[in-house]
Amino acid sequence: MSHTYPLKRLAVIASVLSYTLILSACATHNTEDEHTVYAPGLGEFMAQISTRHIKLWYAGDAENWQLADYELEEIHEGLDDLAKYHPTHDKIKGSIPNMIAVYMKAPLEQTEAAIKVKNVGAFRAGYDSLTTACNSCHQANNFGFNVIARPSGNPFTNQSFQTQL
Ligand code: HEC
């Protein structure tokens, strides 16, 4: 008789514990869901790409080829991520990976080649074709009112675009 009471207590503790475990498992599951569903929207990707487009200009203009190469690569990665997370979009007529290949591939390669040979004139020409390509995709998607241009003033005064090495 003396040891039935502790056994009952053990059973109660066990059931409370399993209930707590189930609750915490549910809580963890919900948090994970919230994290996995978020992906930046098309406009957010564009705003990032546009920032890199400005920085690319100031890096190339200062003949800081290492930085120019980095910024161009960031534009490339931004476009790759855009294609991955939004293969289609209600604002884009057709496949986004396809449009990026059609409009962006050649000017990206042209700019990359200019950076590799460290030629500022070729860089400017590559940069202008890249900018024209941005606008061609905007025009093809009823977004021609958003016009991209060579930047005319550097908004990133907290970053030095001059070569440091
Ligand atoms: C695949 C076609 C496509 C390409 C390529 C493209 N854009 Fe866009 N861009 C769009 C569309 C569509 C929108 C409208 C997005 C929205 O409203 O959700 C947009 C929006 C923008 C915006 C407005 C974002 C804002 O918050 O103000 C900027 C800036 C921009 N693009 C810059 C660029 C630059 C710079 C390039 C080239 C390096 C580029 N885009 C290449 C299709 C494209």
**Tens of each residue's pLDDT in the chain, 165 residues:** 445 556 566 555 555 555 555 544 444 444 555 567 788 999 999 999 999 999 999 999 999 999 999 999 999 999 999 999 999 999 898 999 999 999 999 999 999 999 999 999 999 999 999 999 999 999 999 999 999 999 999 999 999 999 986
- Measured between alpha carbons, how far is residue 51 from residues 18, 48, 79, 83 in Å? 51, 5, 13, 18
Residue-level pLDDT at 23: 47
Residue 33 belongs to a domain = no
Please state the domain count of the chain. Answer: 1
Tell me whether residue 34 is in a domain: no
Q: Which residues line ligand 1 (CB under 6 A)?
A: 41-43, 46-47, 49-50, 53, 75, 91-92, 96, 99-100, 103-104, 130, 134, 137-138, 141, 143, 146, 148
CATH of the domain at 99: 1.20.120
Residue ID of nearest Cα to ligand 1 atom 21: 46
Is residue 80 in some structural domain?
yes
Range of the domain at 91: 43-140
In a domain, 122, yes or no: yes
Supply the pLDDT for residue 1: 45
pTM metric for this prediction: 0.82
What dihedral angle (degrees, nearest 10) is formed by the CA atoms of 152, 41, 159, 103?
A: -50
CA of 134 to the centre of ligand 1 (A): 7
Q: Is residue 156 part of a domain?
A: no
The CB density around residue 36, as the number of other CB atoms within 10 Å, is 8
